[in-house]
Structures are given as C-alpha cells and as structure tokens.
Structure 1
C-alpha cells in the first residue's frame, strides 16, 4: 500500500471517528498541542501523524489503533493469519465501538467477539433469543 493510500484511509477513518464522537478538529488539536491546520491536513489526507501522535489520538478518542488504520479488510476470515494476529481486537467492547462509529465490518466479527468472551451455552442461547426478539421488532 502506498503512502498516499494509507493517508487516505487514515483521513477517512479519523474524520468518521471524530464525527461519531462529536469531537471537533479544534478540540483534538488542543488536546494534542498541534495546530488546527495540522489536523486539517490529516483529515484531507495530505499528511499523516507520527506514530506517537497516532497513539495519543487513540488514547484521547478511546479507540484501538486498528480503527484508525483499517482499510476495510480488517475483519477477515478467522482462518487467516491476520485474524490470529489481531484476535485480541475482537472483543465486545471493540464491537460496540465499531457499531457506535458506524464502521463497516465483516459480520463474523460478532461471532469472534463472543468467542473471546467464553460465554456458556446457556448465555449464548439467551443472546440468540434476544437477537430473535430484536429481529422480530423490525417486522
């Protein structure tokens, strides 16, 4: 992936996350001690922050770094090495954050998040029953 493509992905994700969390560019700039034009350059894809700044953004916005750098293929098949390397990311808390931010993800993420929580069969049945209840509400 080229630097330009990476900047574009970061820009799209940062913009979406700021919007979903109701954080303005000015607020983020103030918390990072950078200028608003620096944030604007990141959001327009003209520049990319240094890694320590990316980590600071994650801390400020209370997100996993993968939410900033996801190219849309983050949530891959559980058979891939990528999944195995990122398994720690698939938690109910991160699923909630992804849903709250309206991020696109592979629906298998839900299963993976549940797998990491070690629900009992009884608890999984309760979850399935609730999902059916929600689904029927749509009708």
Structure 2
C-alpha cells in the first residue's frame, strides 16, 4: 500500500472512531495536545501522525492500532465485542430517547444496557 493509501485509510478510520465515540476534531486536539491544523491534516488524509500519537489516540478511543491503520471491510469485526451489545446499541441509535446510554463503554454487558433501558422505561411511564 502506498503512503497516500495509508493516509486515506487512517483518516477514514479515525473519523469513524471519533464519530462512534461522540468525539470531534477539537476533542482530539485537546487530548493529544496538537494544533487543529495538524488534526485536520490527519482527518483529511494529508498527513499521518507519529506512532506515539497513534498509540495515544488508540488509548483514548479504547481501540487497537490496527483499527486505525488497516482497511476495515464491511464484514470485519464489529466495534462491539459482544453481538448482543451491538444489537442493543443499534436499538439505542434508532430510539433517541435512550441517548443517555450511548455513554456506555463498548465492553458493556448487554444485560446492563437492558437494565438501564428498563429503568428509563419505568421512569418514563411514571411521568407520562
């Protein structure tokens, strides 16, 4: 793979993981301690960060370096480590009234998501 292709893959993956973690470029600038122009260059595929910065980004987003550096196919492993958790997250995405649950970790157990959903349902029914 050429340098340009690596930059394109990295930028696509970085933007993807920022989005699913509810983060933006400004958050990354603040966390990493670099300028907005630098992060913009990373996100636009113009430049690649050094490996120490890549590791810091991975630590912050709770992902592996390969998640940022390798092309992700549509059938590759899901962001969620548990299939049931992925299904619950899709439900939450489709039902924005449960948005509070998006702050949950990707390692959250499906039964924990279900428990909190049931609590929200109970509270909504009492107030409705």
Q: What range describes the TM-score normalised by the shorter chain of this pair?
A: 0.5 to 0.7
Q: CA deviation at 1:3?
A: 0.2
1:1-139 superposed matches below 5 A = 1-72=1-72, 95-96=81-82
Q: Distance in 1 between matches of 2:20 and 2:7?
A: 20
TM-score by length of 2: 0.58
Please give the secondary structure, in 2, of the residue aligned with 1:71.
coil
Structure 1 residues not aligned, in runs of 5+: 77-89, 103-139
Pairs aligned (count)? 87
Deviation readout 1:22-57 (Å, 9 max, x if unpaired): 111011111100011111100000000000100000
1:72 shift after superposition: 2.9
Structure 2: state its 5+ residue gaps: 91-128
